[in-house]
Amino acid sequence: MFETLMDKLKNGTFITLETTPSHSPVFSPIIEKIAALELDKYVDGFSTTDNPLAKLKYNSLFAAKMLQDRFNKPVIATMSMRDRNRIALQSDLLGANEVDIRAILALTGDPANISDQPNAKGVFESDSSLLLDMISCFNSAIDFAGKPLGAKPQTIYPFAVVNSYAKNPKILQKKMQKKINHGACGIITQPVYDLESAKRLIELKEAANKECCSENRSAELILGIFPITKLRTAQFLSAHVPGINVPNNWIESLRVANERGAQEEYKVGFELSKKLFEELKEFHPKIHLMTANQFQIAKDILA
């Protein structure tokens, strides 16, 4: 399953869909929505998020297992450094490995002081590089302390993230290079909103691969897409989310449409998003679609 996914990442079309587990002890309603829309027929795999914005959600590894079992499609499970120390991270990797959860998106994680859980404290033993290093150790059949494991784990495939925009593009290249040097085989970008930005990111990834300390290490770039159907979303992303650039023409088009009503606003935003998806898929068919569980939008974009 994962070997096929990695082959698609390197040699073919690679489309994954993000899912965000909810503040609930059941993940099955999300699975049923995906099944009802037959979204599994349009993607090569899924991902699950790990308590984004430090808000309490259903566990990403359990959610990944349920998705995989239902759709027989590989799932990239997110693990962040915020909530676990190196013992817990490795323990989770051990358990996940036996049940075939073997694609891991390593994140540093959002700060705990924005959590919905009073007085929550972040662990943050290090940034996501530490988790990538742990995965490299596991793939060599040792733990992070260098002790041999009782059995060789199945291969784990590590993924990482990078911003899609920076005033100094060299900063993005250095961040990509660091993650590749620590073993990332796939790097997912924050949402991209124009073809020129995508081309620039591809160039930076290629430069990062060339500059890596090991010839055996390289990564593929996966372009993130987050459809925008509301003016306020575009304005918020542009003004308040570092590492994302929403072009002025998107904001202006949505502003004009907003004045004509919510229906026109949605229509214009969807058309911009759909056009972007088609352009990026033609240029670089390695895409991670994020819709905040708005799965009908995902279906309309993918279909």
| Cα distances (angstroms) measured from residue 178 to each of 29, 55, 136, 216, 218 | 38, 28, 14, 14, 11
Contact of 10 with 4, CB cutoff 8 Å: no
Beta bridge partners of 168: none
The pLDDT value recorded for residue 48 is: 98
- Token couple for 232: 């306020």
Among residues 218, 219, 272, 227, which one has the least CA distance to residue 250?
A: 272
By the 10 Å C-beta count (0-12 exposed, 13-18 middle, 19+ buried), 222 is classed as buried
The pLDDT value recorded for residue 102 is: 98
CA atoms within 13 A on the CB side of 21: 27
69 vs 138: CA distance, rounded Å: 24
297 vs 21: CA distance, rounded Å: 18
Domain limits, the chain:
2-228+284-302
Would you put residue 72 in left (φ > 0), alpha (ψ -120 to 50) or beta? left
**Whole-model pTM over 0.85:** yes
- Listed as ranges, residues in the chain with pLDDT below 70 are 213-215
Topology of domain 2-228+284-302, per CATH? Answer: TIM Barrel (3.20.20)
The pLDDT value recorded for residue 216 is: 76
Q: 217 — phi, psi (to 5°)? A: -110, 125
pLDDT digits (tens, 9 = 90+) for 116-165: 999 999 999 999 999 999 999 999 999 999 999 999 999 999 999 999 99
Contact of 177 with 217, CB cutoff 8 Å: no
pLDDT digits (tens, 9 = 90+) for 51-90: 999 999 999 999 999 999 999 999 999 999 999 999 999 9
